[in-house]
Amino acid sequence: MQISAVDFFYAAMPVVTLDADGSQDALLVRVRSADGAEGWGECEASPLVSIAAFVTPRSHGVCQPVAASVIGERLESPADIARLSENVRRNSMDLLQAAHTWSGVEMALWDLLGTQLGAPVWQLLGYKQNIAKDPYASLLFGGTPEETFERGRAAVEAGYGAVKFGWGGFGAGSLDADQAQLRAAREGVSEAKLMVDAGQIWGEDVDAAAARIPLLEEVNALWLEEPFSPYAYLAHAELARRSPQVALAGGEASHNPEMAKNLIRFGGIRFVQIDTGRVGGIGASKEIADFAAAEGVTYVNHSFTSHLALAASLHSFAGQATSTLCEFPAGLSELAKAVTATALVPDEQWQVSAPTAPGIGIAVNLDAVAPYLREVELRVDGAVLNAAAMSVGK
Binds Mg ion by CB under 5 A, chosen from 111, 178, 197, 327: 197
For Mg ion (CB under 5 A), the number of binding residues is 1
**Rounded to the nearest whole angstrom, what is the least distance from the CB of residue 289 to Mg ion in the complex?**
18
How far apart (Å, rounded) are the C-alpha atoms in residues 191 and 168?
23
**Rounded to the nearest whole angstrom, what is the least distance from the CB of residue 216 to Mg ion in the complex?**
15
Kindly indicate which of the ranges 97-105, 190-198, 260-268, 313-321 contains the residues binding Mg ion, using the contact rule CB under 5 A.
190-198
**Rounded to the nearest whole angstrom, what is the least distance from the CB of residue 253 to Mg ion in the complex?**
9
- Residues 6 or more apart whose CB falls under 8 angstroms from that of 266 comprise 233, 234, 236, 237
Instruction: Name which of 239, 251, 246 is nearest 285 in CA terms.
Output: 251
**Rounded to the nearest whole angstrom, what is the least distance from the CB of residue 202 to Mg ion in the complex?**
14
* Helix spans in 11-167 (H): 47-55, 78-91, 98-117, 121-124, 145-158
Q: Is 327 in the site for Mg ion (CB under 5 A)?
A: no
Task: Kindly state the greatest CA–CA separation across the chain.
Answer: 62
- How far is the CA of 259 from the CAs of 146, 225, 233, 340, in angstroms? 37, 16, 10, 30
How far apart (Å, rounded) are the C-alpha atoms in residues 307 and 315?
12
Kindly indicate which of the ranges 5-13, 45-53, 195-203, 229-237 contains the residues binding Mg ion, using the contact rule CB under 5 A.
195-203
**Rounded to the nearest whole angstrom, what is the least distance from the CB of residue 226 to Mg ion in the complex?**
5
**Rounded to the nearest whole angstrom, what is the least distance from the CB of residue 192 to Mg ion in the complex?**
18
Is residue 394 packed enough to be buried (19+ CB in 10 Å), middle (13-18) or exposed (0-12)?
exposed
Q: Closer to Mg ion by CB, 30 or 270: give it.
A: 270
Kindly indicate which of the ranges 145-153, 189-197, 363-371, 384-392 contains the residues binding Mg ion, using the contact rule CB under 5 A.
189-197
- How far is the CA of 256 from the CAs of 52, 92, 274, 278, in angstroms? 20, 13, 10, 8
Kindly indicate which of the ranges 13-21, 72-80, 191-199, 292-300 contains the residues binding Mg ion, using the contact rule CB under 5 A.
191-199
Q: Closer to Mg ion by CB, 332 or 376: give it.
A: 332
Instruction: Name which of 161, 236, 160 is nearest 198 in CA terms.
Output: 236
**Rounded to the nearest whole angstrom, what is the least distance from the CB of residue 199 to Mg ion in the complex?**
6
Coil, strand or helix at 186: helix
**Rounded to the nearest whole angstrom, what is the least distance from the CB of residue 327 to Mg ion in the complex?**
8
Nearest-CB residue to Mg ion? 197
Q: Closer to Mg ion by CB, 111 or 275: give it.
A: 275
Q: What is the DSSP string of 83-106?
A: HHHHHHHHHTTT-TTHHHHHHHHH
**Rounded to the nearest whole angstrom, what is the least distance from the CB of residue 71 to Mg ion in the complex?**
34
Q: Which of residues 342-371 bind Mg ion (CB under 5 A)?
A: none
Q: Are 170 and 178 in contact (CB under 8 A)?
A: yes
Q: Closer to Mg ion by CB, 8 or 141: give it.
A: 141
Q: Are 364 and 40 in contact (CB under 8 A)?
A: yes
Q: Closer to Mg ion by CB, 24 or 115: give it.
A: 24
Q: Closer to Mg ion by CB, 140 or 362: give it.
A: 140
Q: Closer to Mg ion by CB, 42 or 197: give it.
A: 197
Instruction: Name which of 293, 302, 320 is nearest 129 in CA terms.
Output: 320
**Rounded to the nearest whole angstrom, what is the least distance from the CB of residue 249 to Mg ion in the complex?**
8
Q: What is the DSSP string of 317-365?
A: TTT-TT--EEEEESS--HHHHHHBSS-----TTS-B----SSBT---B-
Kindly indicate which of the ranges 13-21, 77-85, 192-200, 341-349 contains the residues binding Mg ion, using the contact rule CB under 5 A.
192-200
Q: Are 190 and 216 in contact (CB under 8 A)?
A: no
Kindly indicate which of the ranges 196-204, 346-354, 358-366, 373-381 contains the residues binding Mg ion, using the contact rule CB under 5 A.
196-204
Kindly indicate which of the ranges 123-131, 197-205, 354-362, 365-373 contains the residues binding Mg ion, using the contact rule CB under 5 A.
197-205
How far apart (Å, rounded) are the C-alpha atoms in residues 204 and 223?
18
How far apart (Å, rounded) are the C-alpha atoms in residues 161 and 132?
14
Binding region for Mg ion (CB under 5 A): 197
